[in-house]
């Protein structure tokens, strides 16, 4: 297990290096004088000089990169030009909100996707299977932000059951927090539920036709026992990896969903930064999401091996 961890860590180092090149490279895309672009509307020569000094714009690009990456490695993701606070602080402040949303969304997606996948595999070829597959495709094809707007229309505007926007921390008022996050969490979860359903269905079909399930059936075990205890346990292992892979989808979805529900999380942070041309914040958000995605996949790999003793070598 430790050897595996070491090997995987060595593998992700080059990937992380390319991630840093990619994110640093974004800066090179800015048209014209980067100092002017980074300053936004502020054309004060003093500010421009500050920016040139801060980003070492007078140095050659490779030197700029080295200075930038040295900052990143010591936790300095730059300074928000608009809010004049360190990008790292902003991210730390917004991250918990998005993590709460993401966790709720994942719970909803697993509840819907895994259940639907199992039902559809057990009832393979029936109208239930067909219905579930259609619904999953509908879920995958629905634009997140449209679903969000429609849910606001139904539950906030028409019925008045839930607030249309805003966010309350669960530590302040758990019930109110649930009320402000349940719609966006559903919107986010919906996008993944369809994918989870398809994979669960595939894995369950493979498990149901395997020898050990046939043996369990031949022993005369009840159908529910065979499905839930024998087939499902093996079919669900790949879902660990899939859950980690879908984390990226969650964060992508959070961008527009948070925007629509005005939730002050990670997604809203990057959108506001884009509107304000606060490029350091945009870079910081991409860097943190990409790095956490890579680390999460590493954890998922380890979890997968941990759940499959046969893979431990």
Partner 1 sequence: MSAPGSPASPAAQAWARLRARPSAMVGLAIVALVVLAAILAPLVSPYDPTLQSYATIRRPPSLAHPFGTDEVGRDILARIIWGARASLAAGLVSVLIAMAAGIPLGLAAGYLGGIVDGVISRATDAMLACPFLILAIALAAFLGPSLGNAMIAIGVTAAPLFVRLTRGQVMAIKTELYVEAARSLGIREWRIAAGQVLPNVVPQLLVQATLTIATAIIAEASLSFLGLGQQPPAPSWGSMLNSAQRFLSNAPWMAVWPGAAIFVTVLSFNLVGDGLRDALDPRAR
- Positions in the binding site for partner 1 (CB under 8 A): 14-19, 21-23, 26-27, 29-31, 137-138, 140-146, 149-150, 152-153, 157, 164, 248-249, 251-253, 255-256, 259-260, 270-271, 273-275, 277, 279, 282-283, 285-286, 289-291, 293-294
Minimum gap (Å) between residue 19 Cβ and partner 1: 4
Minimum gap (Å) between residue 234 Cβ and partner 1: 21
Minimum gap (Å) between residue 227 Cβ and partner 1: 22
For residues 150 and 223, which CB has a smaller minimum distance to partner 1 in the complex?
150
Minimum gap (Å) between residue 147 Cβ and partner 1: 8
The single-letter DSSP state of residue 76 is -
CA distance 23 to 13: 15
Half-sphere exposure of 292 (CA within 13 A, CB side): 14
Minimum gap (Å) between residue 31 Cβ and partner 1: 6
Minimum gap (Å) between residue 300 Cβ and partner 1: 13
For residues 30 and 305, which CB has a smaller minimum distance to partner 1 in the complex?
30
Contacts of 167 (CB under 8 A, 6+ apart): 97, 177, 180, 181, 261, 262, 263, 264, 265
Residues 263, 188 contacting (CB under 8 angstroms): no
Instruction: Give the dihedral sign, CA 178/249/138/233.
Output: negative
CA distance 213 to 219: 10
For residues 30 and 221, which CB has a smaller minimum distance to partner 1 in the complex?
30
For residues 108 and 273, which CB has a smaller minimum distance to partner 1 in the complex?
273
Minimum gap (Å) between residue 211 Cβ and partner 1: 21
Report which of 112, 186, 100, 179 is spatially closest to residue 144, judged by C-alpha positions. Answer: 186
Minimum gap (Å) between residue 174 Cβ and partner 1: 28
Instruction: Work out the angle at residue 16's Cα, subtended by the Cα atoms of residues 3 and 6, and round it to the nearest 5 degrees.
Output: 5
- Helical spans, DSSP H, in 142-278: 144-151, 174-208, 211-218, 223-225, 232-235, 237-245, 247-260, 266-275
For residues 177 and 276, which CB has a smaller minimum distance to partner 1 in the complex?
276
For residues 239 and 282, which CB has a smaller minimum distance to partner 1 in the complex?
282
For residues 185 and 285, which CB has a smaller minimum distance to partner 1 in the complex?
285
For residues 226 and 283, which CB has a smaller minimum distance to partner 1 in the complex?
283
Burial degree of 310 (CB within 10 A; 0-12, 13-18, 19+) = exposed
CA distance 41 to 275: 12
The single-letter DSSP state of residue 196 is H
């Amino acid at each position: 297990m430790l050897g595996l961890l070491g090997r995987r860590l060595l593998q992700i180092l080059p990937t992380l290096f390319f991630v840093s090149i990619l994110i640093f490279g974004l800066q090179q895309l800015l048209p014209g004088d980067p100092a002017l672009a980074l300053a936004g509307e502020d054309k004060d020569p003093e500010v421009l000089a500050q920016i040139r000094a801060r980003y070492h714009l007078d140095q050659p690009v490779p030197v700029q990169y080295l200075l930038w990456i040295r900052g990143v490695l010591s936790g300095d993701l730059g300074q928000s030009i608009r809010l004049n606070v360190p990008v790292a602080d902003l991210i730390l402040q917004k991250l918990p909100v998005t993590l709460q949303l993401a966790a709720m969304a994942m719970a909803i997606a697993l509840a819907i996707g895994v259940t639907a996948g199992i039902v559809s595999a057990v009832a393979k070829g029936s109208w239930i299977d067909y219905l579930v597959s259609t619904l999953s495709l509908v879920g995958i094809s629905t634009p997140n932000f449209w679903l969000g707007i429609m849910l606001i229309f139904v539950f906030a505007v028409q019925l008045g059951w839930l607030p249309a926007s805003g966010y309350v921390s669960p530590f302040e008022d758990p019930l109110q927090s649930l009320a402000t996050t349940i719609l966006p969490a559903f919107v986010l979860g919906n996008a993944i539920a369809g994918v989870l359903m398809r994979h669960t269905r595939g894995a369950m079909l493979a498990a149901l036709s395997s020898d050990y399930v046939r043996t369990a059936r031949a022993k005369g075990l009840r159908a529910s026992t065979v499905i839930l205890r024998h087939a499902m346990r093996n079919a669900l292992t790949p879902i660990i990896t899939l859950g980690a892979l879908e984390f990226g989808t969650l964060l992508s979805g959070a961008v527009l969903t948070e925007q629509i529900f005005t939730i002050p999380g990670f997604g809203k942070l990057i959108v506001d930064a884009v509107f304000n041309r606060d490029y350091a914040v945009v870079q910081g958000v991409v860097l943190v999401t990409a790095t956490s995605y890579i680390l999460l996949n590493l954890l998922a790999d380890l979890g997968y091996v941990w759940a499959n003793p046969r893979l431990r070598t």
